[in-house]
């Protein structure tokens, strides 16, 4: 990678280049890659120092599902078409694209310039990710994360050249709130709706919870450490039963840089990948707060879950520090039987942890729940190789830290202190609405059994992360003890190991519910529908070659948790990631995010010809008008 310009690297590659993990070590536990595929049928398999546990569903061969299948559509074939592919009987339309003006009078998207800072500030953001649909009165309000931008797509010249180019990129980040409506032309955005709002890296936000006011949160502009500007790199999302949206700050570190190349970075900066170089965005050039040599605490104010009230466009978003600071993927909210609010979360970094939050107060339907996420207990997951596990509480007593504020600012170090299990990049977590079980996509981890995480914690190939140099990913499932989400104890199994059974006969071929008809890599987005079916979205290798031959473009699949059956439902256009989903109130439309089509120059979706590729929200419906989920 050394000779590749930064601008042509993926996020992963760039992160690796500028922020390599501290050391390479060898483990005794490196997995025997000669594990026989037949060996999976044993349920619990031991190899090396560990073992791994497959769910019974992951043990059912693909051909055994036909008689019991709840997945009533003809699976689509993997492909590399620059288009959306759906099963027969389903259709899609584009609803909103990056750059579409949210207010009348604003200019239409200009493919020659790709807009400017002023036009982008009131236009739909870029790189659509997590989303949720809120029914507010008669209005359908779609809230959508705009995770990041591809410098080569958003800038006609391929890179930000002027200060306005940098500001345009900044304004394309954050969150877009728009009303949508279904009419003769299908679903469209309602321009000028009073709900329409852009939340950007310049929007004022309140810092709440244990970290508010801590010395590490204070800056020159905010000496009290309680107010900050903006949110960016919002990846997955959550929604609460009281009608708010949770935007999760993921790779926030890639926007900071240092004007002093010799700055001695703090341990906190090192653990979170805050570096002297940014990822090419150049934000410090237009806003000094992104210069860590001048404002060393600014980055401590990012990496949180942000709660947004979509019903009130004037509301001030709240950073919920009680939910911990890390590279948040999504925030899956569950109302426990006793009324406590549980939030399950992943830290999408190689070798980082899974987390759980339990609110101090309980949910009151119709009552004042506005600050339930301000106060509670935080835990990190520890998995044992025998299929049991424990949520380890993170507080000053268990971690040796000076205060809960420190736990909430340096949650990764807190997780290390209690011996939490290093995971294969925890992406989305989803809770089955039909029973007490939690699914987490562990997307991939090329460093598994190769390198420690940035905190020096070992990453042996065992437990829920059983494969060394894991480039396919897996989905782990947790069963809270006594079906009580506040219980510290849980059991776990592997719902699916992604892989390629046409290339590998060992564990890299995948679990038995993966076959040459449904194979995929890098599960990322997870989403349950009201029937209790699990939708799986991928953000992986789309080369369709070698280890990934036959996987095609990134895609969305559906799984039945009860049987383990998995079928491919949608294939996205070239070089995209399929991420984010929301169901309309009547269950007849599924909104899906198509992010970064053409990130390497190989797509003209959605308009075709030689058009600029644009991230977009699509609406998927059944041709017979029935419910999807």
- CA separation for the pair 500, 505 (Å, rounded): 9
Please tell me whether residue 599 binds ligand FEO under the rule CB under 6 A: no
Please tell me whether residue 427 binds ligand FEO under the rule CB under 6 A: yes
Q: Which of 585, 555, 584, 586 is nearest to 571 (CA)?
A: 555
**Residue 331 interface partner, choices ligand FEO, Ca ion, none, CB cut-off 5-8 Å depending on type:** none
Q: Closest distance between ligand FEO and the C-beta of residue 79, in Å?
A: 24
Residues 241-270 that bind ligand FEO (CB under 6 A): 250
**Do strands 50-53 and 318-320 pair parallel, antiparallel, or not at all (unpaired)?**
unpaired
369: which 2 tokens? 């729940």
Q: Closest distance between ligand FEO and the C-beta of residue 147, in Å?
A: 6
Which x/- pattern over 313-332 shows residues binding ligand FEO (rule: CB under 6 A)? ----------------x---
Which x/- pattern over 88-127 shows residues binding ligand FEO (rule: CB under 6 A)? ----------------------------------------
**Do strands 555-559 and 566-571 pair parallel, antiparallel, or not at all (unpaired)?**
antiparallel
Please tell me whether residue 423 binds ligand FEO under the rule CB under 6 A: no
Please tell me whether residue 348 binds ligand FEO under the rule CB under 6 A: yes
| Cα distances (Å, whole numbers) of residue 472 to 129, 161, 357, 541 | 21, 37, 29, 9
199 and 245 Cβ atoms separated by less than 8 Å: no
**Residue 298 interface partner, choices Ca ion, ligand FEO, none, CB cut-off 5-8 Å depending on type:** none
Question: Rg of the chain's alpha carbons, rounded to an integer?
Answer: 23
Q: Closest distance between Ca ion and the C-beta of residue 428, in Å?
A: 7
Q: Closest distance between Ca ion and the C-beta of residue 145, in Å?
A: 10
State which residue, 524 or 560, has the beta carbon closest to Ca ion. 524
| Share of the chain residues as helix, strand and coil, in percent rounded to the nearest 5 | 15, 30, 55
**Residue 250 interface partner, choices Ca ion, ligand FEO, none, CB cut-off 5-8 Å depending on type:** ligand FEO
State which residue, 165 or 329, has the beta carbon closest to ligand FEO. 329
Residues 498-527 that bind ligand FEO (CB under 6 A): 524
- CA separation for the pair 39, 449 (Å, rounded): 21
Which of 147, 249, 287, 291 binds ligand FEO (CB under 6 A)? It is 147
Across 456-554, where does the E strand assignment appear? 474-480, 489-497, 523-528, 534-538
**Residue 121 interface partner, choices Ca ion, ligand FEO, none, CB cut-off 5-8 Å depending on type:** none
How many residues of this chain bind ligand FEO (CB under 6 A)?
A: 7
344 and 355 Cβ atoms separated by less than 8 Å: yes
Q: Closest distance between ligand FEO and the C-beta of residue 129, in Å?
A: 6
* End-to-end alpha carbon distance in the chain: 43
**Residue 393 interface partner, choices ligand FEO, Ca ion, none, CB cut-off 5-8 Å depending on type:** none
Residues 448-467 that bind ligand FEO (CB under 6 A): none
Number of neighbouring beta carbons within 10 Å of residue 627: 16
**Residue 147 interface partner, choices ligand FEO, Ca ion, none, CB cut-off 5-8 Å depending on type:** ligand FEO
State which residue, 424 or 427, has the beta carbon closest to ligand FEO. 427
**Residue 249 interface partner, choices Ca ion, ligand FEO, none, CB cut-off 5-8 Å depending on type:** none
140 and 180 Cβ atoms separated by less than 8 Å: yes
State which residue, 125 or 509, has the beta carbon closest to ligand FEO. 125
Q: Closest distance between Ca ion and the C-beta of residue 235, in Å?
A: 5
**Do strands 376-383 and 388-393 pair parallel, antiparallel, or not at all (unpaired)?**
antiparallel
Q: Which residues bind Ca ion (CB under 5 A)?
A: 235, 524, 539
Number of neighbouring beta carbons within 10 Å of residue 358: 17
Q: Which of 446, 457, 453 is nearest to 273 (CA)?
A: 453
Grouping H, G, I as helix, E, B as strand and the rest as coil, residue 226 is coil
Query: Would you say the C-alpha torsion 31, 58, 385, 429 has a positive or negative sign?
Result: positive
Q: Closest distance between ligand FEO and the C-beta of residue 614, in Å?
A: 19
Q: Closest distance between Ca ion and the C-beta of residue 37, in Å?
A: 27
- CA separation for the pair 136, 195 (Å, rounded): 10
- CA separation for the pair 154, 548 (Å, rounded): 29
Which of 54, 143, 180, 235 binds ligand FEO (CB under 6 A)? It is 235
Query: Look-up: residue for tokens 């359908």?
Result: 140
Q: Applying CB under 6 A, which residues contact ligand FEO?
A: 147, 235, 250, 329, 348, 427, 524
């Amino acid at each position: 990678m050394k000779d590749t310009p930064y601008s042509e690297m993926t996020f992963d590659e760039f992160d690796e280049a500028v922020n390599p993990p501290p050391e390479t070590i060898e483990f005794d536990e490196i997995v025997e890659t000669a594990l026989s595929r037949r060996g999976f049928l044993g349920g619990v398999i031991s190899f090396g120092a560990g073992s791994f546990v497959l769910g019974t569903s992951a043990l059912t061969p693909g051909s055994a599902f036909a008689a019991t299948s709840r997945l009533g559509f003809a699976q689509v074939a993997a492909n590399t078409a620059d288009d959306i592919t759906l099963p027969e009987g389903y259709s899609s339309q584009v609803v909103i694209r990056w750059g579409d003006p949210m207010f009348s009078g604003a200019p239409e998207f200009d493919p020659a310039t790709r807009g400017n800072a002023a036009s982008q500030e009131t236009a739909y953001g870029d790189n659509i990710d997590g989303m949720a649909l809120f029914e507010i009165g008669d209005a359908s309000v779609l809230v959508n994360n705009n995770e990041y931008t591809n410098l080569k797509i958003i800038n006609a010249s391929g890179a930000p050249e002027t200060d306005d180019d940098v500001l345009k990129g900044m304004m394309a980040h954050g969150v877009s709130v728009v009303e949508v409506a279904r009419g003769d032309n299908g679903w469209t955005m309602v321009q000028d709706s009073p709900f329409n709002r852009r939340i950007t890296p310049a929007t004022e936000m309140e810092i709440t919870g244990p970290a508010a006011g801590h010395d590490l949160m204070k800056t020159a502009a905010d000496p009290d450490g309680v107010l900050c500007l903006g949110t960016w790199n919002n990846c997955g999302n959550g929604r609460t039963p009281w009608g708010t949206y949770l935007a999760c700050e993921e790779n926030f570190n890639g926007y900071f840089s240092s004007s002093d190349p010799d700055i001695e970075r703090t341990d906190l900066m090192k653990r979170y990948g805050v570096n002297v170089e940014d990822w090419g965005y150049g934000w410090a050039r237009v806003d000094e707060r992104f210069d860590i040599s001048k404002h060393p605490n600014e980055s401590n104010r990012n990496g949180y879950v942000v709660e947004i009230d979509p019903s009130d466009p004037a509301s001030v978003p709240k950073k919920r520090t009680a939910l911990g600071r890390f590279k948040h993927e999504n925030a899956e909210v569950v109302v426990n039987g006793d009324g406590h609010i549980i939030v399950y979360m992943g830290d999408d970094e190689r070798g980082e942890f899974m987390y759980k939050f339990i609110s101090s107060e309980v949910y009151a339907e119709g009552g004042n729940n506005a600050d339930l996420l301000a106060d509670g207990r935080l835990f990190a997951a520890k998995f044992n190789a025998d299929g049991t596990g424990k949520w380890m509480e993170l507080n000053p007593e268990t971690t040796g830290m000076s205060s809960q504020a420190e736990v909430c600012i340096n949650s990764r170090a807190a997780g290390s202190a209690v011996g939490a299990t290093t995971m294969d990049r925890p992406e989305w977590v989803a809770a089955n609405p039909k029973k007490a079980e939690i699914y987490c996509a562990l997307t991939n981890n090329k460093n598994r059994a190769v390198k420690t995480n940035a905190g020096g914690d070992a990453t042996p190939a065992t437990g829920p992360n059983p494969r060394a140099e894991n480039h396919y990913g897996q989905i782990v499932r947790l069963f809270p003890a006594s079906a009580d989400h506040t219980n510290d104890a849980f059991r776990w199994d592997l719902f699916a190991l992604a892989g390629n059974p046409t290339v590998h006969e060992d564990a890299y071929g995948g679990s038995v519910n993966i076959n040459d008809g449904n194979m995929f890599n890098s599960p990322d987005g997870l989403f349950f529908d009201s029937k209790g079916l699990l939708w799986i979205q991928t953000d992986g290798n789309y080369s369709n070659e070698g280890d990934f031959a036959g996987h095609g473009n990134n895609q969305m699949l559906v799984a039945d948790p009860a049987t383990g059956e998995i079928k491919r439902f949608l294939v996205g256009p070239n070089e995209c990631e399929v991420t984010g989903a929301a169901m309309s109130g009547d269950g007849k439309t599924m909104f899906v995010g198509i992010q970064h089509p053409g990130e390497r120059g190989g797509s003209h979706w959605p308009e075709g010809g030689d058009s600029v590729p644009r991230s977009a929200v699509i609406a998927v419906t059944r041709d017979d008008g029935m419910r999807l989920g």
